[in-house]
């Protein structure tokens, strides 16, 4: 395997490993943030005065009653609070959800169209690349004339020698930075 391919394999493995860890950490952070926000919303917006008063009454009564009645009242109070915690959704929020759903659906359709277009282009390119040996032979005859077989053999030999030298020496690739040969001497 060439040096470039080895370096690429190492780099892509490293990126995949760390990318996975990054997203796992993000997910854990978002779970915690979600939990905190839900608690804040529940405490500040959905607890009615009736729920608070009924919880206080339940706590005061629980000291005087038996533990069985206490559990039953807590369950009833909890159910009442949950019933009262149902909130009304504004028309603006419904419109926002509808617009968001429409946007997501449009984005999904666009992704599917782009994917289908990309697959079709790849299929066309691969079909264009698949030449029969007769077509290759015809091109070589047009390029090189009567001695096309000898020249084709020389090309293949030179290409295989080049590949062998690269595999043997494993040269470093030149940086992909263009030279600036325009010298502005003042």
What are the pLDDT tens digits along the chain (186 aa)? 688 888 888 888 888 888 888 888 889 989 999 888 888 888 887 655 445 445 545 554 444 445 445 555 555 655 555 555 556 678 888 888 889 999 999 999 999 999 999 999 888 877 777 767 788 888 889 999 999 999 999 999 999 999 999 899 888 777 677 777 776 665
In a domain, residue 83? The reply is no
Model pLDDT, residue 50: 46
Q: Is 149 in the same domain as 180?
A: yes
DSSP element (H, E) containing 183: none
Model pLDDT, residue 109: 95
In a domain, residue 136? The reply is yes
Tokens at residue 16, please?
A: 């995949």
pTM above 0.75, yes or no: no
The DSSP line for 127-150 is HHH---HHHHHHHHHHHHGGGHHH
Q: Is 166 in the same domain as 148?
A: yes
Query: What CA–CA distance (Å, rounded) separates 61 from 67?
Result: 10
Domains held by the chain: number: 2
Q: Which residue has the tokens 């690739």?
A: 173
Q: Is 144 in the same domain as 96?
A: no
Model pLDDT, residue 18: 84
Q: How many helices (H) and strands (E) does the chain have?
A: 6, 0
Choose among 123, 140, 122: nearest CA to 132: 140
In a domain, residue 106? The reply is yes
Residues contacting residue 42 through CB under 8 Å, at least 6 positions apart: 85
In a domain, residue 7? The reply is no
In a domain, residue 72? The reply is no
In a domain, residue 79? The reply is no
Backbone torsions φ then ψ of 130, nearest 5 degrees: -75, 95
Residue 102: give the domain boundaries.
91-130
Q: Is 136 in the same domain as 126?
A: no
Query: What CA–CA distance (Å, rounded) separates 87 from 92?
Result: 14
Angle at 161 between CA 156 and CA 165, to 5 degrees: 150
Model pLDDT, residue 115: 94
Model pLDDT, residue 181: 73
Backbone torsions φ then ψ of 132, nearest 5 degrees: -80, 160
In a domain, residue 108? The reply is yes
Q: Which residue has the tokens 């490293």?
A: 14
Residues contacting residue 74 through CB under 8 Å, at least 6 positions apart: 58, 62
């Amino acid at each position: 395997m060439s040096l470039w391919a080895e370096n690429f394999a190492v780099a892509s493995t490293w990126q995949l490993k760390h990318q996975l860890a990054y997203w796992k950490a993000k997910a854990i952070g978002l779970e915690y943030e979600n939990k905190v926000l839900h608690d804040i919303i529940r405490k500040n917006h959905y607890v009615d005065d009736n729920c608070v008063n009924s919880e206080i009454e339940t706590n005061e009564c629980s000291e005087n009653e038996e533990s069985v009645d206490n559990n039953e009242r807590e369950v009833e109070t909890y159910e009442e609070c949950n019933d009262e915690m149902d909130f009304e959704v504004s028309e603006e929020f419904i419109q926002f959800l509808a617009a968001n759903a429409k946007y997501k659906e449009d984005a999904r359709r666009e992704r599917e169209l782009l994917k289908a277009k990309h697959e079709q282009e790849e299929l066309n390119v691969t079909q264009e690349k698949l030449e029969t040996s007769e077509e290759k032979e015809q091109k070589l005859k047009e390029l090189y004339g009567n001695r096309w077989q000898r020249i084709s053999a020389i090309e293949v030999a030179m290409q295989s020698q080049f590949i062998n030298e690269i595999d043997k020496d494993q040269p470093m690739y030149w940086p992909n930075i263009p030279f600036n040969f325009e010298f502005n001497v003042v």
